[in-house]
Amino acid sequence: MKEPLVSILLPAYNAENFIVKAITSITEQSYSNLEIIVINDGSTDATEEKINSINDDRIKLIRNEVNLGLIETLNKGIDICTGKYIARMDADDISAPTRIELQVRKMEESSIFGICGTWFETHKREEFYKSSKYNTANDDIQIHQLYQIHLCHGTAIFRKEVLENFKFDADYSHAEDFELWSRMKKRYQMTNIPQVLYRVNSHGENVSILNNDTQNKNTLRVISNQLQKIANRHVSEKEAVLYRKLCEADFNLQIKEITKLGELIIQLAAGDSELNLDNPKIYKEYLSNKWEHLCYNNIKKDSIITEIWKKYAPIRPSIKIQLKFIIKKKV
């Protein structure tokens, strides 16, 4: 059986210092049935000359006469790609030699997955900085996606139908991947391969670093939008911030903020059918555990905290847990 064609979608803008290594990491993949769609997005440096220096007939160079920006360039590239799968690649990053092979194998195993990422490393100025090891199970990814991105865009491989049904939204610049994941997760399951198969190069000129304020603002909009669909009401950005603090175990909240969170949690727990989960109960359990930890760590802040905890607990607290609260309060 012939291997499925994979389209590598690689936009590039003023990437002369990185583009050769990025493309070479794709041309040297163990999986070879590729087309490499490189889009020069109006670069003003030697990016195109560097691309042309690579001798591989799988490379298809597309030129934007003017700089269209990442989102418009990605959407343009999606229409050009002909593969069964579309894999992303950033012009300043590096893919491990077996990345595409392992991702195709995972996607071919089951049609339930619409997107697959991998673990990755971040390097700063060529020096190792950290490893990011995201969850691999769909349920865990879906829950994390409600407050933070949990699948790295550069590592992503999609079934082409996913990107044909869900294009990137220009209204969410610098958070376009997070916003796309938030829409597609209701229809498609998500997974990550638990191996470091990608290297992100952080060099101070990354688009996400240069546009950090816009990214944070649009990220909060995405969080609010997702929570609104579950809670079935408007969720403000302030509430989105509180929800993110809850999930990140930031316990430094005031009583009014905790109460506000409790009201939101009850509504989220009642609307968990909006999530595409294998285990429908897992989100309510997740909220219950986060709520318990928040209240437990604030129990000495105000005598009313125990009653607030009980009132808004998504799952009725057991006697054992209630005793734990009583002991904590007296100590």
Is residue 95 in a domain? yes
CATH number, position 195? 3.90.550.10
For the chain, the domain total comes to 2
Instruction: Provide the residue type at 31 as one letter.
Output: Y
Chosen domain end from 162, 186, 213: 213
Report pLDDT for 205: 64
Q: Are residues 25 and 134 in the same domain?
A: yes
Judged by DSSP in three states, 181 sits in helix
Report pLDDT for 83: 97
Is residue 265 in a domain? yes
Judged by DSSP in three states, 42 sits in coil
Q: Are residues 252 and 194 in the same domain?
A: no
Q: What are the beta bridge partners of residue 8?
A: 36, 87
CA dist list (Å): 274 to 120, 148, 173, 193: 29, 18, 25, 25
Is residue 320 in a domain? yes
Contacts (Cβ under 8 Å, ≥6 apart) of 124: 202, 203
Is residue 82 in a domain? yes
Judged by DSSP in three states, 36 sits in strand
What is the length of the chain? 331
Whether the CB-CB separation of 31 and 95 falls below 8 Å is answered with no
Q: Per residue of the chain (331 residues), give pLDDT as tens.
A: 578 999 999 999 999 999 999 999 999 999 999 999 999 999 999 999 999 999 999 999 999 999 999 999 999 999 999 999 999 999 999 999 999 999 999 999 999 999 999 999 999 988 899 999 999 999 999 999 999 999 999 999 999 999 999 999 999 999 999 999 999 999 999 999 999 999 999 976 655 556 789 999 999 999 999 999 999 999 999 999 999 999 999 999 999 999 999 999 999 999 877 789 999 899 999 999 999 999 999 998 888 999 999 999 999 999 999 999 999 888 7
As a whole number of angstroms, the distance between CA 292 and CA 280 comes to 20
Q: Is the dihedral of CA 59, 64, 70, 72 positive or negative?
A: negative
CA dist list (Å): 320 to 29, 291, 302, 326: 54, 16, 22, 10
Domain that holds residue 324: 232-330
As a whole number of angstroms, the distance between CA 272 and CA 322 comes to 25
Q: How crowded is the C-beta side of 200, counted as CA atoms within 13 Å?
A: 22
Q: Are residues 270 and 156 in the same domain?
A: no
Is residue 220 in a domain? no
Q: What angle do CA 42, 45, 49 make, to 5 degrees?
A: 90
Chosen domain end from 213, 241, 266: 213
With CA atoms as reference, report the closest residue to 46 among 21, 12, 14. 14
Q: Are residues 77 and 41 in the same domain?
A: yes
Is residue 264 in a domain? yes
Is residue 255 in a domain? yes
